[in-house]
Amino acid sequence: MKNIRLPFDRDGWKFAGVAAVIAILLGHIGNNMGWLGFLATIGCLLFFRDPERVHPSSKTVAISPADGIILRVSECEPPAELELNGTWKKVSIFMSILNVHVNRAPVSGIVDKILYIPGKFFNVSLDKASEYNERQATYMTMPDGTKVVFVQIAGLIARRIRCDITEGQQLEMGDRVGIIRFGSRVDVYLPDYVKICVEDGQVAVAGETILASFKA
C-alpha cells in the first residue's frame, strides 16, 4: 500500500499538539476560551502546510525556492562571507506569515556547502538584511558545472532556520530543503548571464515559478 503523505510539515504537528492541549485546558475555563484555543490549533496547521508542487520539466531554468513576493531583482556583488567573486544576479523573495514556509531547491545538482552565518534580526525588506541578519547559505553545482547559491534569511519574527539537507547530497529541482518559521526572506544568487523571468512585486510559488533561464 502506498504511503499517504499529509500536507503538513513535521514541525506543524508539534506546535498544533501543544495548541490542542492548551485548547482543552481553556475549554474547562469557558467555551469561548476553548474556541480560541481550537482556532490557534488550526492556525498552527495552516502555517505549517506543505502542499505538493509540480516543478518545470526543463533543466535549464531556476525556480523559486520560496512562496512569497519578489521583493527585488538586482545585479550585485554578494556579501564578502559568501566568497562569490564578481557580479551576480540576485532575486530576493519575501515570505509573509501567511505564505507556505517550506523551502525548495531552485535547481538540480549537488550541495557543495552549507554555510551558517549568525547575525541580527532586521526587517527582511531592508537591503542590509542580506549582510547583517542571521542566515544560511546553500551552495549548489548543477550537472553542467553552473553554480547557484540560495540564502535563507531570518527576520524580525522568523528566528529559526531548519535545514533538512547535508553537504554532498544530490538534490532534484523542487526537493524540500528546510523551513523558516514565521516569515522571512530567501535570496537566490545566479550567474550574471542568466535571463531573469520575474519582476519586482510578482507573486512567486515555491517549486513552480521560474525565476531565470540559463539559456543565454
* Phi and psi torsions of 12, nearest 5°: -60, -35
Degrees (nearest 5) of the Cα angle 182, 56, 114? 50
Please say if 184 is a catalytic residue: yes
What is the identity of the amino acid at 105? A
What residues contact residue 68 under an 8 Å CB cut-off, 6+ apart?
A: 93, 94, 95, 96, 99, 185, 186, 203, 204
CA 79 to CA 30: how far, in whole Å? Answer: 53
pLDDT digits (tens), the chain, 216 positions: 445 555 766 665 566 566 556 666 666 676 666 666 666 666 666 677 888 999 998 889 999 999 999 999 999 999 888 999 999 999 999 988 888 889 999 999 999 999 998 867 666 666 666 677 788 999 999 999 999 999 998 866 556 788 899 999 999 999 999 988 766 889 999 999 999 999 999 999 999 999 999 986
Residue of 64, 92, 130, 184 with catalytic role: 184
Q: How far is CA 104 from CA 20, 25, 67, in A?
A: 29, 37, 10
Q: What pLDDT, on the 0 to 100 scale, is given for residue 94?
A: 92
Instruction: Confirm if 140 and 105 have CB atoms less than 8 A apart.
Output: yes
